[in-house]
A and B are shown apart, each in its own frame.
Chain A
């Protein structure tokens, strides 16, 4: 084919199917193999900012202690605040600052393997950057994805952010202790979840009151 602009030289048309996420997916696959070789279950926790990921992980640290060794990687744009909170709760935690980045990617996790994540863990929890859009597109090499949806966010978040809620294995409806004080409609929330993801297991919990924590810890132990 001749060049459109000058008509003087040949151009070539190539057809292909090259996935842009491939670099990340390949690295995620390497992470996944590393986790498997070391017998570690890895869970990627995603949600809006302020839905209660860190509070839940604080409580999970105590609840999971009798059953195995857990490490936590926690992503935020900046500060060590969350890692400090988790360490104060007795967890082995490492902060990853993304400096304006809106999600964690497989390379950020890979850098921690063999370093902070020693390989002796039974469970690695990854608290993603609070965001319902971008984390959905980046595989980290985890075995399971978990989404948190706090009842203060309303019932329709899954419909507004389908890409994220569609792909998760477990949905935790958090801050359920606030139900008597809000006009939140349980049926409506479950219906919007079902429309986006019929396969995910749903647990209603409150990290504050402890309600539903047993079901969550059981799910972790099972996995």
Chain B
């Protein structure tokens, strides 16, 4: 549980981007959070309104896209989306797979003025 400090990092990164773009305020922010990232979307959403007080993100809307696990199975030779956090092929139960998505913690979209 370190989502408060992660929320502070989100605000710092967003403020940095805003400054580079010459904007004044961030109105909306979209994050991609992978299921294996170790970040809890609920906890982040919970502390976000506190963290943004007095910053250029004050009153900013936060959207979170939860990214499910996407694996490549060399046995089936295809990508498969996995329900839940277990990195194994849902078709053949193979464990020797490659994780292609599910570890993200990215800002993907910002609305600024």
Contact = CB atoms under 8 A, between A and B. Distances in A.
Interface stretch (A11-19, A56-64, A69-77, A115-123): A11-19
Interface in B89-113: 95-96, 99, 104-113
26 contacts: A1-B111, A10-B113, A11-B113, A12-B21, A13-B110, A13-B111, A14-B109, A14-B111, A15-B109, A16-B17, A17-B107, A19-B105, A19-B106, A20-B10, A20-B31, A21-B9, A23-B9, A102-B2, A103-B2, A134-B1, A162-B87, A163-B38, A195-B86, A195-B88, A198-B95, A198-B96
B36 interface: yes
A20 B13 contact: yes
B9 A162 contact: no
A133 interface: yes
Interface of A: 1, 3-4, 9-23, 101-103, 133-134, 136-137, 159, 162-164, 166, 194-196, 198
Given A13-B110, A15-B108, A20-B6, A162 B85 contact: yes
B17 to A, nearest CB: 7
A41 B22 CA distance: 44
Contacts of B5: 101
B8 to A, nearest CB: 10
A115 B112 CA distance: 43
Interface of B: 1-2, 5-6, 9-10, 12-13, 17, 21, 23, 27, 31, 36-39, 85-88, 95-96, 99, 104-113
Given A15-B108, A18-B13, A137-B37, A3 B113 contact: yes
B106 to A, nearest CB: 5
Contacts of B87: 162, 166, 196
Contact of B9 (A20, A134, A136): A20
Contacts of B112: 11-12, 14
A3 B111 CA distance: 10
Nearest to B27: A11
A137 B2 CA distance: 10
A60 to B, nearest CB: 27
A162 B105 contact: no
Contacts of A11: 27, 111-113
B105 A21 contact: yes
Contacts of A4: 27
Contacts of A13: 109-111
B107 A18 contact: yes
A195 B86 CA distance: 7
Contacts of B110: 13-14, 16
Contacts of A166: 36, 87, 99
A42 B5 CA distance: 26
